[in-house]
Amino acid sequence: MRNAQIKDINIPVNTLAKRMKINVPAIHSKVDSVCFDPTKNTVFVFVDKLESRIPDELVRALENFLEAKIVFAEKQNSIDLDALRKRLNGSFPYVSDAVIENNKVILKVSGEFGKDRLKTKMKNVRSILNDMLGTDIEVELDVQQQEIKQYVETYKTDNNEETAQNTVHSYTTPSKLPNKSGKVEVQGYVFEMKLRQGKRNTLLMYITDKIDSLLCMAFDKAANKLAAKISEGDRVLVSGNLTYDDSGEPILSVRQARKIEPTERSDTNYEKRVELHAHSKMSDLDSVLDMKSYVKTASDWGWEAIALTDHGNVQGIPSFYDLCKKHRIKPIFGLEAYLVNDSDPLLINYDRDGLINEEQY
């Protein structure tokens, strides 16, 4: 059964209360639209603004009259973002906005990573929103695609056809590629390059935004030029034609590639974090964190103490100690150990009578 909706009602809430013969304080709000969800037997009453709480007497009167659950909400943003921030804890930085449209809560999240992060907590997210709104309501995640602008340096070609200059380009990243083929500009870090020489030279250049990766290909003279100008570890802006192979993997045929300045994150907060949970490459098959990079970054950000808590071993502690001493950071030594239930004592090839704890050796 489909939802039913009535728009542009434009009736003051006080007028609605008066018609229901309910005496309520002055409420400076108007009913904008009403949506009925038959699957939940719920009527959503959208008002232009909610300056104060809708009196319970009015809600109960409407529920008795309509024989359905009544939920008042603002026409657009009806979610208290501050309250939602406290309830979602660490997941909230990915939520840029929360709105109710018809009978659905739409959480606007920044990027696919934020969407995936919230997906793992959707049961908890729904429970929080249902508790805040007082009803069971559908939740949808909407990824906000943001166009980024960056100054890039155009390098001279071998024929000196271009001069070095700063230009502004908008670009996407490997994790935010369009679903269709076409011309694109993609920014990322080069983590692998292969130049295959033969009848036709082919350059395979892999770039990443540390969320997803993309294969970029160049041929013949273009391949040789790029191999001479770009190295692994460079941050680049690559333009060309994006296509998808039979398995759905994206491939970028490079038309032009430029180095751009790497962006360095910084911690400008006065009160610094003390990291109490981090795994290094020494951890048991669950981390790719380089210890030198970890300690150096913490030092650059002004952190005074950090911990190492590898799974199942303490082999990384000596190197961790030396690095922290070098960078004048307090090391915190930790371990995530494996706990197992004690079993009964087992003896193999025991050929004596009596109790083992009474024997003498």
Quote the pLDDT of residue 298: 95
* Range in 131-135, 203-207, 297-301 the model is least confident about: 131-135
Quote the pLDDT of residue 50: 66
Burial class, 28, CB count within 10 angstroms (exposed 0-12 / middle 13-18 / buried 19+): exposed
**pTM of the complete model:** 0.39
Q: Does residue 266 lie in a domain region?
A: no
- What contacts 260, CB < 8 A, 6 or more positions away? 150, 151, 152, 153, 187, 235, 236, 237
Q: By three-state DSSP, how is residue 250 classified?
A: strand
Residue 171 reports pLDDT greater than 60 = yes
Residue 242 reports pLDDT greater than 60 = yes
- What contacts 186, CB < 8 A, 6 or more positions away? 171, 172, 173, 174, 177, 207, 214, 216, 237, 238, 239, 242, 252
State the maximum Cα–Cα separation within the chain, in Å, rounded to a whole number: 96
279 vs 265: CA distance, rounded Å: 20
Quote the pLDDT of residue 92: 57
Q: Does residue 115 lie in a domain region?
A: yes
Name the pLDDT band for 27 (thresholds 50, 70, 90): confident
**Residue with the larger pLDDT of the pair 88 and 239:** 239
Quote the pLDDT of residue 161: 39
Quote the pLDDT of residue 160: 41
Please state the three-class secondary structure of 184-229 as a single string: EEEEEEEEEEEEECCCCCEEEEEEECCCCEEEEEEEHHHHHHHHHH
Quote the pLDDT of residue 76: 52
Per 3-state DSSP, the chain is made up of helix, strand and coil in percentages (nearest 5) of: 25, 35, 40
Check whether residue 159 and residue 249 sit in a common domain.
Answer: yes
Q: Are 118 and 129 in contact (CB under 8 A)?
A: no
* Range in 35-49, 182-196, 229-243 the model is least confident about: 35-49
Check whether residue 170 and residue 228 sit in a common domain.
Answer: yes
How much is the average pLDDT of 13-38? 81
Mean pLDDT of the chain: 80
Quote the pLDDT of residue 189: 93
CA gyration radius, the chain? 30
Quote the pLDDT of residue 52: 62
Q: Are 310 and 316 in contact (CB under 8 A)?
A: yes
Q: What are the angstrom distances between the C-alpha of 75 and each of 19, 31, 34, 44, 306? A: 22, 9, 10, 10, 46
Q: Does residue 265 lie in a domain region?
A: no
Quote the pLDDT of residue 17: 82
Q: Are 192 and 214 in contact (CB under 8 A)?
A: no
**Structural domains counted in the chain:** 4
Domain CATH code at residue 175: 2.40.50.140
How much is the average pLDDT of 269-279? 92
* Range in 212-221, 234-243, 294-303, 333-342 the model is least confident about: 333-342
User: Which tokens go with 19?
Assistant: 């018609």
How much is the average pLDDT of 220-235? 91
Q: Which of 105, 46, 111 has the alpha carbon at shortest distance from 81?
A: 105
Name the pLDDT band for 149 (thresholds 50, 70, 90): very low
Write the pLDDT tens digit of every residue in 63-107: 888 888 888 776 654 566 666 766 766 555 567 777 776 567 787
Query: Which of these three, 46, 74, 102, is where a domain ends?
Result: 74
Q: Are 38 and 13 in contact (CB under 8 A)?
A: no
Query: Which of these three, 55, 74, 93, is where a domain ends?
Result: 74
Q: Are 5 and 33 in contact (CB under 8 A)?
A: yes
Quote the pLDDT of residue 26: 77
Check whether residue 236 and residue 215 sit in a common domain.
Answer: yes
Q: Does residue 264 lie in a domain region?
A: no
β-strands 165-171, 182-196 pairing: unpaired
Check whether residue 31 and residue 126 sit in a common domain.
Answer: no
Write the pLDDT tens digit of every residue in 288-298: 889 999 999 99
Please report, as a single letter, which amino acid is at residue 331. Answer: P
Write the pLDDT tens digit of every residue in 258-267: 999 887 788 8
Check whether residue 294 and residue 358 sit in a common domain.
Answer: yes
Please report, as a single letter, which amino acid is at residue 298. Answer: A
How much is the average pLDDT of 270-280? 93
Quote the pLDDT of residue 347: 74
